[in-house]
Structure 1
Amino acid sequence: MKSFSKLSVGVLILLHTVNLAAQQHENSRMYNPQNPEKMPITQIQKNKETIYKLYIDCLNTGNLDILDQIISEDYTTDYKGKKVQGPSGYAETVKGVLQGFPDIKFTIEGMIAENDMISVQWTFEGTHNGSFFGYPASGKKVINRAVAVFRLEDGKIVQNRVYPDRLGILQQIGVIPDLQAPVSERPNTKHN
């Protein structure tokens, strides 16, 4: 009887090991934008591909003409106190950043996907060479970090919220003093 229970435990451990190996193999087949043809694409992976396309193919190039491939006609969000809809509404929400930082480059630091939701942590770098929400060009290099949360349906974005470090941008372009900088380096401050 003892050898039967040892055998049962051994079989359970073996089955658990095989199951873990299968899970690791499936995880290794997750979407990789550098080599997408090697993997089967699930809906979550298609949604991730849509997000990569938004940042890499659209925002990094300024090619807003492809928004209809990424943003649903059903897209809605509140922007500056009004509701915007569809690809043209989304374009309205990003034009100010693209005009203010014409050399903008987004880097996706990470993504978490669950069902129809994707959270993205990104960094952008750019030079403030254009008007940005009414602030004239400063010529200063800026680095900004944010988290964005997207909801997708049928592979297109229908909602999003972006949580950027706007204070950091305004400090970097000299609109708001950086209180951690020495007084002599703060814009618009007087010292004796």
Structure 2
Amino acid sequence: MTITETARNRAAFSRFHEATNTGDFAVIEKTIDEVVAPDVVFHAPVPMETTGAQALKQVWTVLLRAFPDLRVKAEDVLADGDRIVCRNTVTGTHQGEYRGLPATGKTVSYNEIFILRFAGGRVAEIWGVVDVLTQLRQLGALAA
């Protein structure tokens, strides 16, 4: 992997990250189409029937419906070869149905870590660990 390829991967990651913080699904969807491989392999607890880039789009549909003000702050971003690792803090206000829970108006703040593998300048594989336990506790779905 050359420095140019690593820089290209970082630029693609930055574009995706910036798009997710617009809160605009059309912008996020367009960016996914541009920087994520259509057949991306998504290793994360995604409770849906779709695969590839469509699964990623569905994740954002669900998240923005539930948390329209969702923001993802990249706390650490590390690049090595064809991989980028990002540790994030996610915040938002629960204003729509999420995981069967009607809107509560409560705010959430939870952590996640994602590893992205790039091929040909596009995200080819994603691994994710999301602190859903904290998220659900803050929403009142689980006892503290």
Taking the aligned partners of 1:81 and 1:134, their CA distance within structure 2 comes to 14
Counterpart Cα distance in 2 of 1:83 and 1:102? 22
Q: Distance in 2 between matches of 1:71 and 1:116?
A: 14
* Distance across 2 between alignment mates of 1:124 and 1:116: 25
- CA separation of 1:152 and 1:124: change in aligned 2, threshold 3 A: same
Matching of residue 107 in structure 1 with residue 107 in structure 2: no
Cα deviation, residue 81, structure 1:
6.7
Measure, in 2, the Cα distance between the counterparts of 1:96 and 1:140.
17
**Normalising to structure 2: TM-score of the pair?**
0.85
Residue number in structure 1 paired with 2:33:
68
Structure 1 residue 138 corresponds to structure 2 residue 109 = no
8 A contact 2:15–2:31 mirrored in 1: no
1:118-165: CA deviation from partner (whole Å, max 9, x where unpaired): 110011111001111221111011111110011111111111011011
Percent identity for Structure 1 against Structure 2: 24
**1:149 aligned residue (85, 102, 115):** 115
Structure 1 match to 2:18: 56
Contact kept? 1:124, 1:144, Cα under 8 Å: yes
CA contact (8 A) 1:149 1:161 kept: yes
Task: From the two aligned structures, give the one with the greater strand fraction.
Answer: 2
Matched, 1:84 2:51: yes
SS of alignment partner, residue 98 of structure 1: helix
Unaligned runs of 5+ in 1: 1-40, 179-192
Q: Which amino acid aligns with 2:51?
A: V
Select the structure with the greater relative contact order (CA < 8 A; seq sep ≥ 6): 2
Gaps of 5+ in 2: none
- 1:52 partner amino acid: S
Matched, 1:117 2:78: no
List 4+ stretches of structure 1 deviating above 4 A. Answer: none
Structure that is richer in helix per residue: 1
In angstroms, what is the RMSD of aligned CA positions? 1.7
Aligned to 1:73, the other structure's residue is in SS state strand
Q: If the length of structure 1 is used for normalisation, what is the TM-score?
A: 0.65
